Amino acid sequence: MSVTTIPQHTPSPVQPASAESAKVVRVSGPIVTASGMYGAQMYEVVEVGDQGLIGEIVRLSGDLATIQVYENTNMLRPGAPVRRTAAPLSLQLGPGLIGNIYDGIQRSLPAMHQASGAWIERGAKVPPLDDRKPRTFQPAVTPGQPVMAGQVLGEVPETPLIRHRILVPPDVSGTLRTVASAGSYTLQDVIAVVDTPKGPRQLTMVQQWPVRVPRPIHGRRRIAEPLVTGQRIIDTLFPIGKGGAAAIPGGFGTGKTITQHQLAKWSNADLIVYVGCGERGNEMTDVLREFPEIEDPETGRPLIERTILIANTSNMPVAAREVSIYTGITLAEYYRDQGRHVAVFADSTSRWAEALRELAARLEEMPAEEGFPASLATRLAQFYERGGAVTTLGGQEGSITIVGAVSPPGGDFSEPVTQHTRRFIRCFWALDTDLANARHYPSVHWLRSYSEYVEDVRAWWELRSPQWTEVRQETIEILQREDRLQQIVKLVGPDVLPDSQRMILLTADILRDGFLTQSAFDEKDMYCHPDRQLALLRLIVTLHRRASQIIQAGAPLVRVRELPCVPKIIRAKQAFGNDELEALAALEDEMNQQFDDLEREYERD
């Protein structure tokens, strides 16, 4: 596959307009119109007013520019100066991103809190990365060798879990003239000089990249490995592959945020980018409080050491909510280019779409369905298509898995955001209000959810257990048959059903209580290893098979219910942890022994 065309990001030669020539002429919430903007470009960053509020040009007409301001515009008046920067909205990418907390335009919230206290001043500007902190650089190349875009120049320890790979920028290739020796350097120190066809290029540890432009790749790969989340109903019944895209739709109170928190805590991605987009502040507070305290299940280190948080809560400016999604995916692409597997959790894309709707209304665009802009589907596609499993420019394998929460009003999955989202994803975890009201968590409905990654990850699962496909399919069939039988039960009650069909109802109850539900507060059950997931599911399916056989031989269902192993199987998820697989195997042997005794009893009869 040919290499993606690399966009050029050299600042425009146009000089920034003077304060006398560029002025605000109209203010409508976060949308500002300025005159005297000849020579400006689309998506160019400008500073508005005496406080230098950050904004982005979204429309040009003659010398008038429509600016989307990412901060509160209260008290901004016509006549206020506008200063151009002649550059698009870009991120600083380099060591120091992990463990940090940013707003939607990559301003470090801890740094702003340190500078101004609890109340962040408008127009506050702090560097996204600490450019004064010395970092230990270990080179991986030698002078005189050819280097290409995306190649690793060296490494910097970023956290105990992540060694940051310093890459050749995507628009640079040539012969390496010099490279820094091993030692301590700041982010602004020159660590390499590359002779390019356009002349020598000095490289530091930091790259700049526009948020709205996808970083280039060499090609896409086929998804072959699941993103293991530790949540049984997801991993076993509706898996997502590394590099896939999924949605978690659900009405208010169904547990979208806690489900995303669980996925972010326990998924086996190398790096987590969590975007709190328009959600309540207390939910982001939970993330900020919990993540530094939670231990990574694979390494035992604090989870924050492989996490980047973007906080843009519902009380923050709406325009910054719109750009926060692009900020998150750009950070993910940067680490993907280092050969990492990154998971992006966006909570929620509905709040992001609502920001698009508000901004479109202030721009006086023609509304489409339910007032959303006509470009909603395109914008969603642009976001989800920046995920995927890829071969990077440097020849490494990386991936971005995107999981977006959707908050349809009233839990109506026919609304535009949910419907358009389903066009661009292959995994749909539908949360159900009735399950949530019954305290069944995660409230993923097994009949309304689906995953198109099952065939992609089948080989990975069958290496662990050749029976995975068979057991998974039998589980889904039991749940489907139970749903049909419930229609009869609602009309005439369960007593009219034969024991063989009542056994299906019993097995479905055991599946719900012993496998599908999972406590986020139980130390043994909050994370379920894939091997333990298979052991639990195989235990329940074997119970169903043996019980169905003995009922067919003439035993009543009541004898199956009375077996001592049945309540033990229901409690097994809480009784046995991830390192107690032998105890689960012993329970399976105990169950088989009890069924053998019951079979011999009815053979004698």
pLDDT digits (tens, 9 = 90+) for 535-556: 999 999 999 999 999 999 889 9
Question: According to the model, what pLDDT value does residue 263 have?
Answer: 93
Q: Which fold has domain 17-85?
A: Elongation Factor Tu (Ef-tu); domain 3 (2.40.30)
Question: According to the model, what pLDDT value does residue 283 have?
Answer: 75
The residues near 198 (Cβ < 8 Å, ≥ 6 apart) are none
Q: Which residue has the tokens 């790979």?
A: 165
Measured CA to CA, the distance from residue 605 to residue 599 in angstroms comes to 10
Beta strand 307-312 pairing with 271-277: parallel
The amino acid sitting at 296 is D
DSSP per residue, 438-468: TT-SS-B-TTT-EES-HHHHHHHHHHH-TTH
Question: According to the model, what pLDDT value does residue 59 have?
Answer: 94
Is 293 or 89 the better-scoring residue by pLDDT? 89
Task: Assess whether pLDDT exceeds 70 at residue 10.
Answer: no
DSSP per residue, 534-580: HHHHHHHHHHHHHHHHHHHTT--HHHHHT-THHHHHHHHHHHS-TT-
Task: Assess whether pLDDT exceeds 80 at residue 269.
Answer: yes
Residue among 150, 136, 159, 140 at smallest CA distance from 209: 150
Question: According to the model, what pLDDT value does residue 5 have?
Answer: 40
pLDDT band at residue 2 using 50, 70 and 90 as cut-offs: very low
Task: Assess whether pLDDT exceeds 60 at residue 408.
Answer: yes
Question: According to the model, what pLDDT value does residue 134 have?
Answer: 94
Task: Assess whether pLDDT exceeds 80 at residue 285.
Answer: no
Residue among 437, 391, 429 at smallest CA distance from 413: 429
- The predicted-structure confidence for 500-530, as pLDDT tens digits, reads as follows 999 999 999 999 999 999 998 898 999 999 9
Could you name the CATH architecture of 219-457? 3-Layer(aba) Sandwich (3.40)
What average pLDDT score do residues 178-198 get? Answer: 95
Task: Assess whether pLDDT exceeds 60 at residue 217.
Answer: yes
Domain segments of the chain as ranges: 17-85, 135-205, 219-457, 465-604
pLDDT band at residue 225 using 50, 70 and 90 as cut-offs: very high
- The predicted-structure confidence for 81-124, as pLDDT tens digits, reads as follows 999 999 999 999 999 999 999 988 999 988 888 888 777 788 88
Percent of the chain with pLDDT over 90: 77
Task: Assess whether pLDDT exceeds 60 at residue 12.
Answer: no
Q: For 135-205, CATH number?
A: 2.40.50.100
Measured CA to CA, the distance from residue 534 to residue 153 in angstroms comes to 42
Residue among 306, 355, 91, 381 at smallest CA distance from 207: 91
pLDDT band at residue 293 using 50, 70 and 90 as cut-offs: confident
* Range with the poorest average pLDDT among 4-13, 127-136, 149-158: 4-13
572 phi, psi to nearest 5 deg:
-60, -35
What average pLDDT score do residues 254-275 get? Answer: 91
CA 538 centroid distance within chain: 30
Tell me the CA distances in angstroms from 104 to 276, 318, 384, one per residue in order: 9, 10, 18
pLDDT band at residue 8 using 50, 70 and 90 as cut-offs: very low
Question: According to the model, what pLDDT value does residue 604 have?
Answer: 61
Helix axes 318-336, 349-362, angle to 10 degrees: 130
Quote the mean pLDDT of the chain. Answer: 91
pLDDT band at residue 330 using 50, 70 and 90 as cut-offs: very high
- Quick one: 568 exposed, middle or buried, by C-beta within 10 A (0-12, 13-18, 19+)? middle
Looking at 3.40.1180.10, 2.40.30.60, 1.10.3260.10, 1.10.1140.10, the CATH number of the domain 465-604 comes to 1.10.1140.10
Question: According to the model, what pLDDT value does residue 246 have?
Answer: 97
What average pLDDT score do residues 352-360 get? Answer: 93
Task: Assess whether pLDDT exceeds 50 at residue 4.
Answer: no
Task: Assess whether pLDDT exceeds 60 at residue 14.
Answer: no
pLDDT band at residue 11 using 50, 70 and 90 as cut-offs: very low
- Could you list the beta-strand ranges (E) of 31-113: 31-35, 44-48, 53-61, 64-69, 82-88, 90-93, 101-102
Is 6 or 399 the better-scoring residue by pLDDT? 399
- The predicted-structure confidence for 424-474, as pLDDT tens digits, reads as follows 999 999 999 999 999 999 999 999 999 999 999 999 999 998 999 999 999
pLDDT band at residue 13 using 50, 70 and 90 as cut-offs: very low
Question: According to the model, what pLDDT value does residue 287 have?
Answer: 75
Residue among 226, 228, 231, 227 at smallest CA distance from 526: 231
Task: Assess whether pLDDT exceeds 50 at residue 1.
Answer: no
What is the dihedral angle through the alpha carbons of 443, 449, 452, 458, rounded to the nearest 10 degrees?
50
What average pLDDT score do residues 132-155 get? Answer: 95
DSSP helix/strand/coil, 314: coil
**Angle formed at CA 592 by CA 459 and CA 559, multiple of 5 degrees:** 125
